[in-house]
Structure 1
Amino acid sequence: MSVLTLRLAGPLQSWGASARFARRTTESAPTKSGVIGMLAAAAGIERGDDDKLKPLTALRFGVRIDQPGTRVRDFHTAHHGVTGKSMPLSERFYLADAVFVAALEGDHQLLADLHAALRTPVYAPFLGRRSCPPAVPVELHLHDHGGLWDALREEPWQASPWYRKQYRDQNEVELTVLREADEHEQDVADTLRDQPISFAAEHRRHILRAQVTCSVRIPNPSARQLPRHDPFDALDEESA
């Protein structure tokens, strides 16, 4: 098994697992459906091609919250493309200035192909909605050893420099991880309807997926290096 890691960062992101009429919410972290959709678009898989989509949906998914961002709300207006009639006013939510590390575990060749596709995508990637382009290239690394948890633990902290400043006095930071539950964790797992079955416009379908919340400690590359001070050094100087 190999693991592909992605850096999901941009001015705005929106990862909705459900939509209620004119109210379009966002989860606090990227959904599996949104990330799989981005990978499928990069690989040129069309929305109705469920056979090609199936290997991607079987990948094991996890995400690390490196910079949680701020939830913001927007009012959206639109007009019908043919009649010009005004559409209902909708309320849409986004995450501003957020940074995540997503990881997908599975077959090495499949992940290598997806890694290459992200570098030369057929369709441009976006962070949940087409109005949310990434600020930096999405692909990070293809890990040939270890599993999902190892990759999320080894990947360096991806938060923005301005965000890291508040943690300068800490040599490590504790980050929240949301990952797919193992079989023995089903009783303590939460559920989210973001396991894609089909992206076809006429029968888009998702089913429930179990995930657990945990944390991981990551070295802080921006930690302040304090000078070493040993009070017994003064005694050594006097004895000399």
Structure 2
Amino acid sequence: MSVLALRLAGPLQSWGASARFARRTTETAPTKSGVIGLLAAAQGRDRTADLTDLAALTFAVRIDQAGTRVRDFQTARHADTGKAMPVSERFYLADAVFVAAVAGDDELIHALHNALQAPAYLPFLGRRSCPPQGPIDLGTRNGNDPAATLRDEPWHAAPWHQNRHRRNASVTLHLLSESAADEPLGTALRDQPLSFAPTHRRYALRNVVTTTVDLPNPQYQPPQRSKSTAKPLPAPRHNPEALLTPLPPQPPLDGR
């Protein structure tokens, strides 16, 4: 068994699990169906291809940089008639960084790793309008637990984001387990892919368990202590009249 780690970062991301019709929302973290779709596209699989092997991969995702939720309104027209379509309201995550991990058979994991090096189709972060920033592949790890891999993986947030934190950072870890009976009850999320066929896309429910993990901050620098023993200067006395110019003497009113 092996684990494949992925860094999912870009100007915009959108990971919908229940988006329908003219309102397209996004989850706060990448969905399993979105990541499996990315891997299937990298391998050049058709949308109607069998997903049994990819759907069987165990999956977890870590929120290294939550980003900001933004809303966009889009308009479109039918190509044949020119008739306007309903205004579409779409939500995205801006400047977010996630680390996802999938675990499975060694042969399949290494095949996915090789596919990400030279993808058949351009990978995107939930929607085609959301290309990734930088390489996605973080390499393979030994083991069969993606959550354990993410607990040991370094923090991949942007340097400017890391500079805002102290020695350690507490990040959110989503454990999307398939059937572990000992997992605590979480939130049901319909992102277990069954079929990506355009005519009949199908997804099953899974249990989402959320926890936190503390990671060391690579940008942290301890404060420098001054070796000077001189006493600090006292604060200057506040004198609000210091900037006022005194008026010249005025002659008496009786002329004397």
- Asked if Structure 1 and Structure 2 have the same fold, meaning a TM-score greater than 0.5 normalized by the shorter chain, the answer is yes
Partners in 2 of 1:153 and 1:178 — Cα distance? 11
Partner of 2:190 in structure 1?
193
One-letter amino acid matched to 1:4: L
Let me know the Cα RMSD of the aligned residues. 1.6
Partner of 1:79 in structure 2?
77
Stretch moving more, 5-14 or 217-226: 217-226
State yes or no: 1:32 paired with 2:38: no
Partner of 1:234 in structure 2?
none
State yes or no: 1:211 paired with 2:208: yes
State yes or no: 1:180 paired with 2:176: yes
Q: Deviations over 1:91-144 (max 9, x none)?
A: 000000000000101111101110110110000000000000001111112002
Length-normalised TM-score, structure 2? 0.84
Partner of 2:136 in structure 1?
138
Identity %: 58
One-letter amino acid matched to 2:52: K
Of structures 1 and 2, the larger Rg is shown by 2
Where 2:163 maps in the other structure, the secondary structure is: helix
Give the gaps of 5 or more residues in structure 2.
Answer: 228-256
One-letter amino acid matched to 2:167: N
Q: For 1:223-234, what aligned pairs fall within 5 Å after superposition?
A: 223-227=220-224
CA 1:146 to 1:203, structure 2 compared with 1: closer, same or farther past 3 Å?
closer
Length-normalised TM-score, structure 1? 0.90
Between Structure 1 and Structure 2, which shows a larger proportion of helix residues? 1
One-letter amino acid matched to 1:141: G
Quote how far apart the aligned CAs of 1:55 are.
Answer: 0.3
Partner of 2:247 in structure 1?
none
Native 8 Å contact 1:108 1:144 kept in 2: no
Give the gaps of 5 or more residues in structure 1.
Answer: 231-240
Aligned residues: 226
Q: Deviations over 1:63-101 (max 9, x none)?
A: 000000000000011111222221110100000000000
Where 1:99 maps in the other structure, the secondary structure is: strand
Where 1:158 maps in the other structure, the secondary structure is: coil
